[in-house]
Amino acid sequence: MTTRTFEELVAEAASVSVDGWDFSWLDGRATEERPSWGYSRLVEERMAHAVAALDIQTGGGEVLAGVPRLPTLTVATESWPPNVALATARLRPRGVAVVVADEPRLPFGDDVFDLVISRHPVTTWWEEIARVLQPGGTYLSQEVGPGSVGELTEFFMGPQPSGSARDPERARVAAEAAGLEVVDLRPESLRMTFRDIGAVIYFLRKVIWIVPGFTVDRYRGELETLHDRILATGPFEAHSTRFLIEARKPA
């Protein structure tokens, strides 16, 4: 258990960079179970056989950077300027162009890519994915599911309305409406633990949709309460939700 004070933990977590989607700062301070399907491994397998690939909303380029073999034509999109800079630095040496795109229409022609991927997209542009996929091409994505980390949201914001646009079955309906065939759809709930209040602050600064508008000053009272609770009873537990979806464009 940490012996640092609340103010020390707050000062540290409020000042560290939250650019990109590398969560290694949380090592030893927070844990999250990984989905059973192994998204990175699936991406590696698909990339090994692809000819032209697109990674939508690449973040800091973390997924593509870990793929041993990339197709000759590999492109990524991203819109947040700090992430664009990170992704460009990571991916340009590997011949991957990072294109700024934050809304449809995707800046690519029809039937260009035989593989499109996206990990944790903010919004899934199904019509555009179907348009840029070649006939017989595949879309593979790991998405955030409904009510993810809801325990943390409700601690800070109170009870939330039921229902979510991130429901896996809604994704199936939207994919099929865009003309794609869903060949795999798997949801999972995954245990998370936060061992100190600094980990909570870092996470909420980085994953901004868990507590929209989060700042330390705005939620200082709740943060102090949660800090005391962690000291008294141990790590705060929550559950993230994820689903894997794979869809194909008819040949």
Band the pLDDT of 1: cuts 50, 70, 90. very low
Query: Looking at the domain assignment, is residue 240 inside a domain?
Result: yes
- pLDDT band of residue 21 (cuts 50, 70, 90) is confident
Please tell me the total count of domains within the chain. 1
User: What would the DSSP string read from start to end of the chain?
Assistant: -----HHHHHHHHHHS---SS--GGGTTTEEEPPPTT-HHHHHHHHHTT-SEEEESS-TTTHHHHT-SS--SEEEEEE-SHHHHHHHHHHHGGGT-EEEE--SSSPSS-TT-EEEEEEES-SS--HHHHHHHEEEEEEEEEEEE-TTTTHHHHHHHH----S--TT-HHHHHHHHHHTT-EEEEEEEEEEEEEE-SHHHHHHHHHHSTTSSTT--TTTTHHHHHHHHHHHHHH--EEEEEEEEEEEEE---
The verdict on residue 36 lying in a domain is yes
pLDDT category at 125 given cuts 50, 70, 90 is very high
Query: For residue 195, is pLDDT > 60?
Result: yes
CATH number at 133 reads 3.40.50.150
Range of the domain at 107: 6-248
* Percentage above 90 pLDDT, the chain: 92
Domain-embedded: residue 1: no
At 165 the pLDDT is 75
